[in-house]
Amino acid sequence: GAGVSQTPSNKVTEKGKYVELRCDPISGHTALYWYRQSLGQGPEFLIYFQGTGAADDSGLPNDRFFAVRPEGSVSTLKIQRTERGDSAVYLCASSLRLLAGGPSEQFFGPGTRLTVL
């Protein structure tokens, strides 16, 4: 069975450029999450989708960050005018949230390592 996949695995870009990071969740998982992880830190929440809509985007650091999930499956995290401080591993996770308010066991992808030079 396929797990969560993320592409690319590595992305090197120059300051000021635009990047897109893709996440393919586990088939049938309605919930999708993006996190960012810096070296030596735990993952930091960015945004959560339930279906096609962003249910919680409170973790997005500023308006340079945007994410979409147009058909309720694949999601793309978009970063405009990248800065060196955006360098991190971007993790995607999905879950099958059966009950509203119930816990979410999350299945993570391997991440995309973004380096902004």
In whole angstroms, what is the distance from residue 18 CA to residue 57 CA? 20
Burial (CB count <10 Å: 0-12, 13-18, 19+), residue 87: middle
Residues 75-114 that bind another protein (CB under 8 A): 91, 93, 97, 100-101, 103-111
Q: Segment 17-56, which members bind another protein (CB under 8 A)?
A: 31, 33, 35, 40-45, 48, 50, 55-56
Residue 74 makes contact with another protein by CB under 8 A: no
Task: Give me the residues that bind another protein (CB under 8 A), please.
Answer: 4, 31, 33, 35, 40-45, 48, 50, 55-56, 58-59, 91, 93, 97, 100-101, 103-111
